[in-house]
Chain A
Amino acid sequence: MLSPVSEKEYSVDTFEEIRTIISANLNVPADKIHPDSKASDFSEWDSLRHLVLVMDIEQKFDVKFSFAEIAGFDSVEKIVSIIQERVKT
């Protein structure tokens, strides 16, 4: 279950969708992925899995990230918040 650990407001749906994508890509159980999870928490989250993850997320949310954004996605929180910003505009 979600444990609310941040003051930021997440759309539950956005986080859930991202959690599903990360879980499928890294082959890691969904309940190990939390809103405050970092890429470094998972040994499976290497540089190439990162790229596949990014492409899946781009397709799911119909967004395109910049080089800097992709390179900067080192936590679940960052991914969720950038998507939410994009979806708003």
Chain B
Amino acid sequence: MTDMRIALLSSCTIELLQKPFAAALEARGIHPSFVIGGFGQFRQEVLNASSALYVHDPAVILLYLDASDLFRELLENPFAFSAEARHELALRCADDVVALAETLAEQLPQATLLLNTTAIDPRNTLVGLEYNSEYGIQDVMNAYNAELSALARRIKTTVIVDVASLAAEIGFERWHDSRMWYLARSPWSRQALQALADRYATTISARFGRNRKCVVLDLDNTLWGGVVGEDGLEGLRLGEDGIGRAYVEFQLELLNLHRKGVLLAICSKNNPEDALGVIRRHPAMRLREEHFAALRINWEDKGANLRELAEELNIGLDSFVFLDDNPAERSWIRQSAPEVLVPDWPADPAEYKIALLELSSNHFCKLAITAEDRQRGHAHLAQAERRKLATASASLDDFYRTLQMRARIGLADSFTIPRIAQLTQKTNQFNLTTRRYTEAEIAAIGRDTDCVIWWLELSDRFGPSGIVGVLILKRQSPDTWLIDTFLLSCRVMGRTAENAFLAAVARELGAARLIGEFRPTAKNVPVRDLYSRLGFQLLHRVQDGELWELNLANAPLETPAWFEIDIVRSGIAAG
């Protein structure tokens, strides 16, 4: 459970959101403590430097602005507003919000601000006139929402939650509760409150890097209609007509997940030749072998297969989602691998695509796509090649040499900060201190003149791995540095990259002494003795771990001979 301080501010009454929101957060491993702004007091809370908002110092500020409050006059009498007046109104309202967002970004630079898009009840007086006449309301909403989007792209700590679409999903009839509105100026029905709670909780969860990582798929009657072992490739229902199209569209959405950096894997009870035959040769397949990071096609128990997949992909079982049309298999996996998410799956393939999209909005909600995300689906191909090479090499040193590894290291800048923050949030095994940082926090550390943040990018003869390592050091004295964060992506463990990285950074800093911190967790056992292996001496134990010391004059860090190292000298760009 992570503790998190959250502020709820609103133009209307937001109290009723608190209970469902807290429950949705707890279900995602976040324990919130709330401060709730007074009714309609959101401007005062933001502009008054000593308000309860600032005292609370939240990690997340949820600012909900209702269209009825923002655009009251327009909604009461849309006929009083010409097109120009409407345009001005939208921009004026947006400017107001932008000013608040800028104040918050300045005063609480570490906090994430959640802003909502606005929607109005489509049952209004302009039915028929909207789009056909000089009167309108939708154009104001669209212009305002567009300004919010521009704001979010400019101020990276702002995230727009598309509440307008959420209301459309549910339908305004079920979204708005007029009794609650008239009684307490609380706009939402119970159903709306639940939907908002889930969506906001998922957004926060996604913001702090807690998405699932891999979808494991069955094949027969999941990726295609029919059983290949019985119906043969030609007998399968997969194509442009009828229910075959439902499977195609399901695959297309899986492909979109792949494009967002989610891994796909197969776990199917089949003869490998039959199953691979379909994947390689069926003309209507949209997913091909290269889209799958790992395969387990055999007659073994799926629970054991899942455990093997976790091992091969080097991720935890709690990163998996398991989709299978067979309720018995689903039930078995729920029992034998309870950390795996096994959603209920519709019996009707016509519903597969929507079920996947709903699942995806909850567990694969991405707020940004990094270059590594786009590349992740292909990384496994290079990894397979590396593994083959490893078994062929006579010795480890030989193996490292044949990899032809090149390392680039550089100082964090606005370009690399997102990936650095992502790594601090996701890396568990090769992580000496497991400190989780948001992008804003990394930027703040970067601006501190007594701190440095270095990234490591690796490539070898099989291809690039992207940024895979982070070192954050804090100066203790002119030539002594404390290692606050030292992590490597599990993809590049076991290749002495850590030696090359630390040696290069220590040399760049001109450090005479390094202090390494180790905080043990359940998952970072692989680096328990890292500092010892690098030649450090144990200084002393502290409350949550150990401090190690390296005197570089006596025990210099060796850069392994099989690395070529480039140092990119740049710095933190503004913002």
A interface list, Cβ under 8 A from B = 47-48, 51-52, 55, 58-59, 65-67, 70-71
Total cross-chain contacts (CB, 8 A) = 26
Check A51 against B183 for contact (C-beta < 8 Å): yes
Check B16 against A67 for contact (C-beta < 8 Å): no
Q: Decide yes or no whether B56 CB sits under 8 A from chain A.
A: no
User: Distance (Å) between the CB of A64 and the closest chain B CB?
Assistant: 9
Please list 9 pairs of residues, one from A and one from B, whose beta carbons are closer than 8 Å in the complex, sorted by A's number: A48-B184, A51-B16, A51-B180, A51-B184, A51-B186, A55-B16, A58-B190, A66-B179, A67-B183
User: Distance (Å) between the CB of B263 and the closest chain A CB?
Assistant: 39
Complex: A10 Cα to B178 Cα, angstroms: 31
Complex: A2 Cα to B504 Cα, angstroms: 77
Q: Decide yes or no whether B19 CB sits under 8 A from chain A.
A: yes
Among residues of A, the one whose C-beta sits closest to the C-beta of B182 is: A67
Most buried by A among B179, B182, B186: B179
Tell me the B179-208 residues at the A interface (CB within 8 Å): 179-180, 182-184, 186, 190
| Interface of A, helix, strand, loop or mixed by DSSP | helix
User: Distance (Å) between the CB of A21 and the closest chain B CB?
Assistant: 13
Check B184 against A47 for contact (C-beta < 8 Å): yes
Since A48-B13, A67-B183 are in contact, a sample of 4 more A-B pairs with Cβ atoms closer than 8 Å, ordered by chain A residue number, is A51-B186, A52-B16, A59-B190, A67-B182
Check B183 against A52 for contact (C-beta < 8 Å): no
**A70 and B179 in contact, given A51-B186, A55-B190, A58-B190 (Cβ under 8 angstroms):** yes
Complex: A58 Cα to B177 Cα, angstroms: 13
Q: Mark B15-32, 1 if CB is under 8 A from A, else 0.
A: 110010000000000000
Among residues of B, the one whose C-beta sits closest to the C-beta of A55 is: B190
**A52 and B19 in contact, given A58-B190, A59-B190 (Cβ under 8 angstroms):** yes
User: Distance (Å) between the CB of B561 and the closest chain A CB?
Assistant: 67
Check B179 against A48 for contact (C-beta < 8 Å): no
**A48 and B16 in contact, given A55-B190, A58-B190, A59-B190 (Cβ under 8 angstroms):** yes
Complex: A48 Cα to B186 Cα, angstroms: 10
User: Distance (Å) between the CB of A47 and the closest chain B CB?
Assistant: 6
Complex: A58 Cα to B182 Cα, angstroms: 18
Among residues of A, the one whose C-beta sits closest to the C-beta of B181 is: A67
Check B190 against A48 for contact (C-beta < 8 Å): no
User: Distance (Å) between the CB of B50 and the closest chain A CB?
Assistant: 26
Among residues of A, the one whose C-beta sits closest to the C-beta of B179 is: A67
Among residues of A, the one whose C-beta sits closest to the C-beta of B13 is: A48
User: Which 4 A-B pairs rank lowest in CB-CB distance, beginning with the nearest?
Assistant: A67-B179, A55-B190, A48-B15, A51-B184
Complex: A83 Cα to B184 Cα, angstroms: 23
Chain A residues lying within 8 Å of B19, measured Cβ to Cβ, are: 52
User: Distance (Å) between the CB of A73 and the closest chain B CB?
Assistant: 11
Chain A residues lying within 8 Å of B186, measured Cβ to Cβ, are: 51
Chain A residues lying within 8 Å of B178, measured Cβ to Cβ, are: 67
Complex: A51 Cα to B180 Cα, angstroms: 7
Complex: A71 Cα to B13 Cα, angstroms: 17
Complex: A55 Cα to B19 Cα, angstroms: 12
Complex: A48 Cα to B18 Cα, angstroms: 11
Chain B residues lying within 8 Å of A47, measured Cβ to Cβ, are: 183-184
Chain A residues lying within 8 Å of B13, measured Cβ to Cβ, are: 48
Complex: A70 Cα to B181 Cα, angstroms: 12
Complex: A67 Cα to B179 Cα, angstroms: 5
Among residues of B, the one whose C-beta sits closest to the C-beta of A47 is: B184
User: Distance (Å) between the CB of A44 and the closest chain B CB?
Assistant: 14
Complex: A48 Cα to B19 Cα, angstroms: 12
Chain A residues lying within 8 Å of B179, measured Cβ to Cβ, are: 65-67, 70
Chain B residues lying within 8 Å of A65, measured Cβ to Cβ, are: 179
Chain A residues lying within 8 Å of B16, measured Cβ to Cβ, are: 48, 51-52, 55
Chain A residues lying within 8 Å of B183, measured Cβ to Cβ, are: 47, 51, 67, 70-71
